[in-house]
Amino acid sequence: MSAAPIKVLVIDDEPPIRKLLRMGLSTQGYEILEASNGKMALELLAQEPALIILDLGLPDIQGHELLRMIRGRNDSVPIVVLSSRGDEAGKVQALDLGADDYLTKPFGMDELLARMRAALRHQLQVQAPHRQGRRQGRQAFTEGVRIVARAGAARRQGVDPPVSVERAVG
């Protein structure tokens, strides 16, 4: 088993937001890929991020359309929408198009980190049985539960939970 930083693709056209996310997430151990527009984001998908943070207000591709395009290429990567749009219809549309979560700007870093952990946990639990046989899938699910338990124990002890995942699956 090897521990590797979790790769996060941040798609936002605002340099201050990208900088805030790069600094905040990298200090938590995440590896950050940055895209300032939809075209660049589609190119960076080749680097197989484990999670995507997506702003809907991009200069070249409408955010909901980009979400649809990402889902067409990768239906399993967790996507957390981070947008200034707070209207219910926009949130529902993003979630219906395949977003796993939606967070409205301004946002708190702790809340974003919690939503990212939840999305990654859910992905691990859903994908493990599909990627391997039932026995191996249960083992991967069990490893995922251990990771979650370690994170919970770390938080109870007042320290930041680990953000690298010991690869129990392929």
Q: What CA–CA distance (Å, rounded) separates 136 from 20?
A: 39
pLDDT digits (tens, 9 = 90+) for 70-89: 999 998 999 999 999 889 99
Average pLDDT (36-53) is 97
Q: What CA–CA distance (Å, rounded) separates 154 from 158?
A: 6
Q: What CA–CA distance (Å, rounded) separates 36 from 14?
A: 7
Q: What CA–CA distance (Å, rounded) separates 84 from 105?
A: 5
pLDDT at 133 over 80: no
Q: Alpha helices of the chain — where are they, by DSSP H?
A: 15-26, 38-44, 63-73, 88-96, 109-131, 134-156
Query: Token pair 């693709």 is at which residue?
Result: 9
Q: What CA–CA distance (Å, rounded) separates 21 from 10?
A: 8
**The pLDDT of residue 124:** 78
Q: Is 49 helix (H, G, I), strand (E, B) or coil?
A: coil
* Pairing label, strands 79-83, 101-104: parallel
Q: What CA–CA distance (Å, rounded) separates 146 from 40?
A: 36
Using CA atoms of 167, 125, 107, 161 in order, give the dihedral in degrees to the nearest 10: -50
Please say whether the beta carbons of 33 and 9 come within 8 A.
yes
pLDDT at 48 over 50: yes
pTM comes to 0.74
For the chain, percent of residues with pLDDT exceeding 90:
66
Q: What is the residue-averaged pLDDT of the chain?
A: 82
